[in-house]
Amino acid sequence: MEQNLFLEQRQRLQLSPQMYQSINILQMNIIELNRWLEKEVQENPVLEIVLNQGVVPEEDNDEKALDHDHEEQEARALSDYFSSREGKSGNKDISITEFGPDTNVQNLGYKKISLSEHLLQNFGVMVRDGLDYKVGEYLIGNINYNGYLTISCEEVALDLKIPVKKVKQILALIQNCSLPGLGARNLKECLLLQLKHLELPEKELLKKLILFYLEELSKKDFKDISHELNLTYSEVQHLLDVLKKNFDPKPGRVFSQDNDIKLLVPDIIVKKIDNRYEIFENRGNSIDIRINSFYDQMLLEYRRMEKLRGQEVFSQEKLLESQKTVEYLQGKIGSARWILRCLEQRRDTIFNITRFIISYQQDFLEKGITYFKPLSLEQVAEELGFNKSTVSRAIKAKKVQLPKGTYELKYFFSKGLSQSNDEIISNEKIKNLIKGYITEEDIYYPYSDQRLTELLKQKENIVIARRTVTKYRKLMDIPSAKLRRRYK
């Protein structure tokens, strides 16, 4: 085989470490940026944190009420009770607000303690034997945040080299030391454990439903249930309502969970002042940094020493030390100045994008979701003279607080559907129309996706495919017509 050497010239873009840092700073949200700045302050001695005393005009009571209403609406979002099985999350987490006011009051005391801590405390009171406690501790360590045991009794027995019977005895103690349903191995056991502690007139029928018909209930397939239990569809519907009201399929969720904490901290706050929308940085939750003037002064002193090098005022050892110090300070101060420049650039970029969105979506802010306009990254990039990737990074994970509530910036970037008259209708507007139709529908004869498609055509002159309506409905976590239907 013949071997040859040849030269080849190529062009490629190679980003410097500083450019990578600038890109990373731009795409961080306010929480991520605060953590990163705290770390930088620890690693770079010339940087210091400035105590932030910036304020934003206070909200009036009406705006606070709007935010509160928005939060309540989110808390009541529609979710299918049986969409997840055996403690595994489905499309939407089931919250304790679905199980009635009594449950909420009962659960208030569990919010400040984790599930494992609570179970260990209660279990510790019930047992005195050290071995029993160790087995219980092992079992509790394998109970997930929904309250389900994720390991079989046989596996525990094998791991701890004890009889399976002993493991089941300890598990029974755990299941009876706290809220009914905790420590269950599957959904069926979880509901049966809760049923034992409830005094309900329909108890026997509910037990049969839990034991044999959970799958049918999850699909609202009442035919077999009605036939085999000699019940009308309306009676089966009533039993399902009782299940939803009195049972919690994820009892562990009432306890504090570190991984469930979601902070709603906006990067930008928009206020309407004198009929104009003003944009403010959320300084109350952000960290400001600056270069410590002491190190600037120190650098000047060492540079003065270098100028006196030829006059032999200082020893060579002292001059060498000052040279190293100057190089170190120059590097750290240069790095600090670059970070400050990146922060200012990040702020200006986000402000400019937010300002454009506020101007573009003025009708939405004033009149509501019906006036929401489709918007693309390309439109914003072209208008502001940015690269599309810059806009994408700038809106990533960022939130803006508006008088109507708090939204992610990416919410305002919505595609649209083209119509025959060249009009483009926002996806968000169509979703809102679908949601409105479903809210006003007859609960005994809910609209099918095909009927929703026809309504959009008849009432709004919007031409849309049925599969697109189905897609939007699912994106809003709204069940199908069959699951929404109720029986008289």
Q: What angle do CA 368, 71, 63 make, to 5 degrees?
A: 60
Residue 15 banded pLDDT, cuts 50, 70, 90: low
Question: Please, which residues bridge with residue 401 across strands?
Answer: 269, 406
What gap in Å lies between CA 233 and CA 235, rounded to an integer? 5
CA 263 from centroid of its chain's CA atoms: 8
**Percentage of the chain with pLDDT > 70?**
80
The one-character DSSP state at 403 is: T
Q: pLDDT digits over 465-477, tens only?
A: 999 999 999 999 9
268 or 294: which leads in pLDDT: 268
297 or 61: which leads in pLDDT: 297
Predicted local confidence at residue 197, as pLDDT: 92
What gap in Å lies between CA 87 and CA 145, rounded to an integer? 9
> How many other C-beta atoms lie within 10 A of the C-beta of residue 461?
12
3-state secondary structure of 288: strand
Predicted local confidence at residue 261, as pLDDT: 53
Q: pLDDT digits over 224-246, tens only?
A: 999 999 999 999 999 999 999 99
For residue 164, pLDDT over 80 is answered with: yes
Region 8-36 average pLDDT: 83
Q: Contact, 384 vs 396, CB < 8 A? A: no
18 or 364: which leads in pLDDT: 364
Mean pLDDT of the chain: 82
Q: State in Å, rounded, how far the first CA of the chain is from the last one.
A: 86
For residue 155, pLDDT over 50 is answered with: yes
Region 325-344 average pLDDT: 88
What gap in Å lies between CA 385 and CA 327, rounded to an integer? 38
Region 365-369 average pLDDT: 88
Count the helices and strands in the chain (H runs, E runs).
22, 8
Task: Give the range with max mean pLDDT: 9-23, 84-98, 222-236.
Answer: 222-236
Residue 105 banded pLDDT, cuts 50, 70, 90: very low
Question: Please, which residues bridge with residue 270 across strands?
Answer: 279
The domains located in the chain, with CATH, are: 17-54+266-407 (no CATH), 80-93+113-255 (no CATH), 415-484 (1.10.10.60)
Residue 260, amino acid: D
For residue 481, pLDDT over 70 is answered with: yes
Strands (DSSP E) contained in 381-485 are: 399-402, 405-408, 416-418, 424-426
Region 254-283 average pLDDT: 81
Rg (CA), the chain: 31
Give the lowest-confidence range in 70-74, 125-129, 192-196, 226-230: 70-74
Predicted local confidence at residue 416, as pLDDT: 82
Predicted local confidence at residue 2, as pLDDT: 66
| Encoded tokens for 14 | 């190679």
Region 199-228 average pLDDT: 94
Q: What is the residue-wise DSSP string for 467-485? A: HHHHHHHHHTTPPPHHHH-
Q: pLDDT digits over 414-456, tens only?
A: 888 877 777 788 888 899 999 999 999 999 999 999 999 999 9
For residue 208, pLDDT over 90 is answered with: yes
Region 390-399 average pLDDT: 93
